[in-house]
Chain A
């Protein structure tokens, strides 16, 4: 019987791995030979040394990453050491006089003659000699672009050379760089008159800066005083802001809220419906005034422009109209009740009947039929059958100018019906020139039965557009209606001119 551990071992033995392929041997051997040949080549090459920091570098490096100086071979370093020793022995007296000269510069000036002129040494000599020359001006002979390119090339070259060193030991590289620059700075500051020069420059710049600040301060104070002297009569009230221009509230479907585009208290935007009207069989039209409080409950007392005076009523009952209160906020004006749309000033309940104010019927206000306000039936406002709208307060609906406003077909409750549309005739000129096509006109079918505002949208030459306009003027139609009123409506009419 095989236990579970052995079974698992047997299972695992089922996964066999392949043997190493022969090509791997060839590849490894090739890499081994290459590695050995490179090592041999590197062993034969000499290490290089920095003449300044005396560090040792691999043969492929040309410049010291710390000092930026060209590296030199071992024999050059030995020659340099011999030179320094000889110089110390021979010129102890003169050394004090020339102690301010950079040691490297002095060495390189001499090695130009004493050492073999290898390219690296020659290049170093050129650089150091150029550095040692004294110029009366900071302007060099080379152009700006040339000098810039030289610097860029130098930076690129040094980056390329120092990158392997940085990648090998970033922390050490940073440490050595900081140490190198610190040493360089100390050397510079240790030179004669450098510290004095720096302090003098600092003092001069600081003095200049303080002078500029003082002059600026004095100038600002002087200007302020001058301004104060010129206009003593002016007081500063605050920054000028843009005065907002009063904008007319966008017209909503109905209501007297003077703001909003909604249609009532329901959540979803919906157009309200309904209306009301009233009157007391008076000869005068209903007078202008404020509307009573709107409520959705049926009114207990209809509004009256001349309410009877009741002394100490047992149950004070205000007059109301049955409409959505969202559309009719309380009117605080100290006016008698009336129709806000009316122009009449003499108090009158209007020619309607059933109580209320206006020319309609039923206990409301306006020309409609019901206990609401405006054209329409039942209650509420907005025209047509009564319905609660939604979307918040609306405005201006009660003051729609049915007579002068031109409606789009979609805004009307009943569109205009064209009864006859005479066809235009061809002009002789168009017939000769075989002009055919379509003329499209936009026009207004006015509430008074006339065709007005005819505008060609697409015309034809040879007098055909004029013929189409003339034909359009003869259109007969039934005007569109909105809320029971005849209104003007835009229509677009096309005329085809074809020669068969």
Chain B
């Protein structure tokens, strides 16, 4: 049975020291927050750090979250974005073997050739998105992967909806140019079928 307790109530109880409430909150948002951090930073280790700091900052300064302005999910995305920007200002860390092992394993149903093509495609997409400017990248990840609405993205990145739309359009245009070899044959799926 899904937990119907609101985020605000869970947060209030967590701040009072109720560990179960904090865990419920954590389980509710850990995957999207971690995925967003991972896609922004490109490193599993850094994504772990940012996710950890994000949840802890929620408890250290609970008054910073205003439920009347945005949902907790949006607030957490904005916190991750700010923490990631701090990480970007630091010297970039090398990708370790742990990072590589943290990549999602291929399913058993995938054939070796299919796995190889999927890995290549995934790497190409990752490189193309990684090459986007910061503002375009975060807007695209929030829209395409986290499926936030334009208004929510605008709240996260502290910009208006029009600016978010423009960033998304430019990001898609850049991606089409970067991924043209994979789009030329039709679709990515068709590329994989070949």
Contact A15 B103 (CB under 8 A): no
Tell me if B70 is interfacial: C-beta within 8 Å of chain A: no
Contact B183 A28 (CB under 8 A): no
Residues of chain B within 8 A of A12, CB atoms compared? 125, 129, 144-145, 175
Chain A residue with Cβ nearest B17: A36
Tell me if B23 is interfacial: C-beta within 8 Å of chain A: yes
Which one of B2-10, B54-62, B79-87, B151-159 is at the A interface? Answer: B54-62
Contact A24 B30 (CB under 8 A): yes
Give the complex CA separation of A332 and B111 in angstroms.
105
Which one of A1-9, A141-149, A303-311 is at the B interface? Answer: A1-9
Interface size (B, Cβ < 8 Å)? 42
Tell me if B73 is interfacial: C-beta within 8 Å of chain A: no
Give the complex CA separation of A62 and B104 in angstroms.
53
Q: A4-B183, A24-B48 are in contact. Are A11 and B188 (CB under 8 A)?
A: yes
Interface centre among A18, A23, A40 (most CB of B within 10 A): A18
Residues of chain A within 8 A of B179, CB atoms compared? 8, 11
Tell me if A203 is interfacial: C-beta within 8 Å of chain B: no
Tell me if A132 is interfacial: C-beta within 8 Å of chain B: no
Contact B187 A25 (CB under 8 A): no
Residues of chain A within 8 A of B129, CB atoms compared? 12, 15
Interface of chain B residues 111 through 137 with chain A (CB within 8 A): 118, 121-122, 125-126, 129
Contact B145 A17 (CB under 8 A): yes
Tell me if A14 is interfacial: C-beta within 8 Å of chain B: yes
Residues of chain B within 8 A of A16, CB atoms compared? 104, 122
Interface of chain A residues 19 through 43 with chain B (CB within 8 A): 19-21, 23-25, 27-29, 31-33, 35-36, 40
Give a binary string over B178-193; 1 marks a CB under 8 Å from any A CB, 0 the rest. Answer: 0100110011110000
Contact B17 A11 (CB under 8 A): no
Give the complex CA separation of A9 and B19 in angstroms.
40
Interface of chain B residues 1 through 51 with chain A (CB within 8 A): 14, 17, 19, 22-23, 26, 30-31, 33-35, 38-39, 44, 48, 51
Tell me if B52 is interfacial: C-beta within 8 Å of chain A: yes
Give the complex CA separation of A9 and B172 in angstroms.
10
Tell me if A10 is interfacial: C-beta within 8 Å of chain B: yes
Contact A40 B17 (CB under 8 A): yes
Residues of chain A within 8 A of B60, CB atoms compared? 35
Interface centre among A19, A20, A31 (most CB of B within 10 A): A20
Residues of chain A within 8 A of B35, CB atoms compared? 17-20
Chain B residue with Cβ nearest A12: B144
Interface centre among A9, A17, A28 (most CB of B within 10 A): A17
Contact B51 A32 (CB under 8 A): no
Interface centre among A4, A5, A8, A33 (most CB of B within 10 A): A8
Give the complex CA separation of A29 and B34 in angstroms.
16
Question: Shortest CB–CB separation between residue B125 and chain A, in angstroms?
Answer: 4
Give the complex CA separation of A23 and B103 in angstroms.
15
Interface centre among B22, B33, B144, B188 (most CB of A within 10 A): B188
Contact A15 B176 (CB under 8 A): no
Residues of chain B within 8 A of A28, CB atoms compared? 26, 51-52, 55-56
Chain A residue with Cβ nearest B35: A17
Residues of chain A within 8 A of B22, CB atoms compared? 29, 32
Partner of B183, one of A8, A21, A24, A36: A8
Give the complex CA separation of A15 and B175 in angstroms.
13
Question: Shortest CB–CB separation between residue B191 and chain A, in angstroms?
Answer: 8
Contact A8 B118 (CB under 8 A): no
Tell me if B97 is interfacial: C-beta within 8 Å of chain A: no
Chain B residue with Cβ nearest A14: B121
Chain B residue with Cβ nearest A7: B187
Tell me if B102 is interfacial: C-beta within 8 Å of chain A: yes
Contact A11 B125 (CB under 8 A): yes
Contact B59 A35 (CB under 8 A): yes
Partner of B30, one of A11, A15, A20: A20
Contact B118 A24 (CB under 8 A): no
Contact B176 A4 (CB under 8 A): yes
Residues of chain B within 8 A of A27, CB atoms compared? 48, 52
Residues of chain A within 8 A of B176, CB atoms compared? 4, 8
Question: Shortest CB–CB separation between residue B83 and chain A, in angstroms?
Answer: 14
Contact B121 A17 (CB under 8 A): no
Question: Shortest CB–CB separation between residue B98 and chain A, in angstroms?
Answer: 10
Give the complex CA separation of A29 and B25 in angstroms.
12
Partner of A18, one of B19, B103, B188: B103
Spell out B's residues near A (CB within 8 Å): 14, 17, 19, 22-23, 26, 30-31, 33-35, 38-39, 44, 48, 51-52, 55-56, 59-60, 102-104, 118, 121-122, 125-126, 129, 144-145, 172, 175-176, 179, 182-183, 186-189
Contacts A/B (CB < 8 Å), 7 sampled: A5-B172, A8-B176, A10-B188, A17-B38, A18-B38, A18-B44, A29-B26
